[in-house]
Structure 1
């Protein structure tokens, strides 16, 4: 069985427009959760969001897409992170167009970030807009395919908040089985009225910066961003720098409720167990858990239940959503990169804003940045609506 090695990474989020900026923010506890500057909504002045700092016009200029047609903010964020990832991995145009190269992306919002335009077009209240082909969740993938002349296997996954984690899992499986030599995996989501209004209807949006794993947590902050990783087989990677390996993965569904996890964490426990078993390691070899940790009552309690059910001794854990907000379909890839950074630099990143940790299991999340923690394996959790739970294990290659 072939190994799936991480040779490139690219990211844009509320805490940075590239990997280095994101890493610096994690090290210095610099949150990106503030009032939105670009997102136009009734709630933009009332609620905090994890909004990327660059405007659409700035993103277009950076990417050389000033004259582009039909590029939503989702497409622009995806292009930004994708370009950094393939550059970091040193992929040539020939590599990208090879039939041995696959692209698996993910999104839940897609072009729905243009909620008002979508409504106008769908209800024939407009004469048509440049975005008619950009509203679907796969529109950004099609833009990437066309711009970079990708000819190999491509797909777009939408399994809610586990979407890009599932993209990474699928990419690793393609490489392990020999069906592809390299796979670019990740996802993107941008702020949208559609999702903000939906989450607000569920009464789970916090009016302040979220505090995952705090007794007094009162909801999540929605965020936006994009992240991509380049996975390559050992043959394709050659002498390239390798950040880490996708060592294991697991996916399960508790089918309990459309927007809540089961109290006994059936899906979460199964996905974590399968990921660790498929990595061929013991539970005590996990040196860090990047938890799903949304800051909602249900998620944090259930995730802690699942972790304590599996681990005899709880490994260090935190939720980096306290930096970025919940980036929905992009969260799995965003947090995969953070997990890889923790391995590469032997660092632990904190859960921000925790004042009174949940006391049920006598374990507390990481409260401050620390280094010199040798981490051989990191577990990254992504749990989606409908109970779709995915866990990834990343392993050190040093």
Structure 2
């Protein structure tokens, strides 16, 4: 696994922050915006110049911040998986993003027609550009594709990777997602009136909105044949997955949580697990009025009166949009490895309609199955289940 987020630039740094309740939510400094004094974000404290140097790229490259963060996390994943010959097996790469190259386009758009020096960023605008740049950096010459389904994107990338291996089409797939902060997303979410001016409070009755974040995370999925042939250490198994859509609203979840309910129940069916076997739910938990109530209702529909321990880790990182499913997949694997439930920061008061209370401090317990939710605009709801065998 490889990860860069507001709480750390490696897997170990992210784990340390999670275990010690150290959030990465701050005022914004990397993006010039009129909202700088009224919002808080989860910002990766590394400049583009620093990332270019770390990746040993030419100084005047046309890599966007999306590509830079993605390359940084993906290279980390390959190194941590001890892969030295990337194409020795049928290897694919699936990345996800919602911002794409917008972070550069929004800066240079007015100059594209007259300034040749910035025209290099026109080619890096579309979402697939960052994916191809990351694949090229890793040296992958096989299957490469991009998924953009808003905030469920990375979960869907992981799901597709698992299906490609299960169907025998590929032996190894690097999967994940990346999104940087940009005026494009800040202004968009500000228009929706769902950005919080303080640290977000997932599942709290007095929640006032989300904190945007930027991050990248990638996981290496490999077939059982590779694991056995190379005597690989398995961090976790993807035992269940599902995608559903409640077709309710362009940017809101239904009151009954139908999409989330369908995704969770189908993922349990795929994993051949009963709801009672889930030990921890890493919830989508954005801290918006709509999501947290809808997701709470869906959780109660699936699990009844016996709710597993659950928490949202977005109060640590902010909502990292297309990267969220991969960030939280890494955290789900870390929960399994360390047998720990990570805390839901800033929680004080239960939502009166459901009465659900997340775990608010580090809780150590036996954990065999973790369910992770990622829900996107347009009703695109995805659930992954990670298991320890």
**Shorter-normalised TM-score: what interval?**
over 0.9
Shift of 1:160: 0.3
Residue 329, structure 1, aligned to residue 319, structure 2: no
Structure 1 384/121 Cα, relative in aligned 2: closer, same or farther at 3 Å? Answer: farther
| Match 1:287 to one of 265, 279, 286 | 279
1:116 maps to: 106
Query: What's the TM-score once normalised by structure 2's chain length?
Result: 0.96
Residue 142, structure 1, aligned to residue 128, structure 2: no
2:254 maps to: 262
TM-align CA RMSD: 1.3
Structure 1 105/369 Cα, relative in aligned 2: closer, same or farther at 3 Å? Answer: same
Q: How does 1:1-398 map to 2 (within 5 A)?
A: 9-67=1-59, 69-92=61-84, 94=85, 96-98=86-88, 100-120=90-110, 124=113, 126-127=115-116, 128-238=118-228, 239-312=231-304, 313-371=306-364, 373-397=365-389
Q: Distance in 2 between matches of 1:202 and 1:324?
A: 20
Q: Distance in 1 between matches of 2:336 and 2:87?
A: 31
| TM-superposition CA deviations, 1:84-115 (whole Å, max 9, x none) | 100011112x3x23460010000000111124
What number of residue pairs does the alignment pair up?
385
1:3 maps to: none
Shift of 1:117: 3.1
1:4 maps to: none
- The range that moved more, 302-311 or 106-115, is 106-115
Shift of 1:121: 5.0
| TM-superposition CA deviations, 1:314-348 (whole Å, max 9, x none) | 00000100100000000000000001100110001
SS of residue paired to 1:110: coil
Q: Distance in 2 between matches of 1:121 and 1:388?
A: 36
Q: Distance in 2 between matches of 1:121 and 1:81?
A: 31
Q: Distance in 1 between matches of 2:207 and 2:105?
A: 29
Structure 1 156/343 Cα, relative in aligned 2: closer, same or farther at 3 Å? Answer: same
SS of residue paired to 1:162: helix
1:343–1:377: 8 Å Cα contact kept in structure 2? Answer: yes
Shift of 1:54: 1.0
| TM-superposition CA deviations, 1:291-332 (whole Å, max 9, x none) | 000000000000000000010310000010010000000000
2:282–2:372: 8 Å Cα contact kept in structure 1? Answer: yes
Shift of 1:36: 1.7
Query: What's the TM-score once normalised by structure 1's chain length?
Result: 0.94
2:209–2:286: 8 Å Cα contact kept in structure 1? Answer: yes
Q: Distance in 2 between matches of 1:98 and 1:194?
A: 40
| TM-superposition CA deviations, 1:188-218 (whole Å, max 9, x none) | 0000101100100000000001001000001
Q: Distance in 1 between matches of 2:135 and 2:73?
A: 14
1:98–1:152: 8 Å Cα contact kept in structure 2? Answer: no
Structure 1 125/221 Cα, relative in aligned 2: closer, same or farther at 3 Å? Answer: farther
The unaligned stretches of length 5 or more in structure 1 are 1-8
Q: Distance in 2 between matches of 1:339 and 1:208?
A: 26
- The range that moved more, 58-67 or 332-341, is 58-67
- The range that moved more, 244-253 or 111-120, is 111-120
Q: Distance in 2 between matches of 1:126 and 1:302?
A: 48
1:5 maps to: none
SS of residue paired to 2:134: helix
Shift of 1:45: 3.0
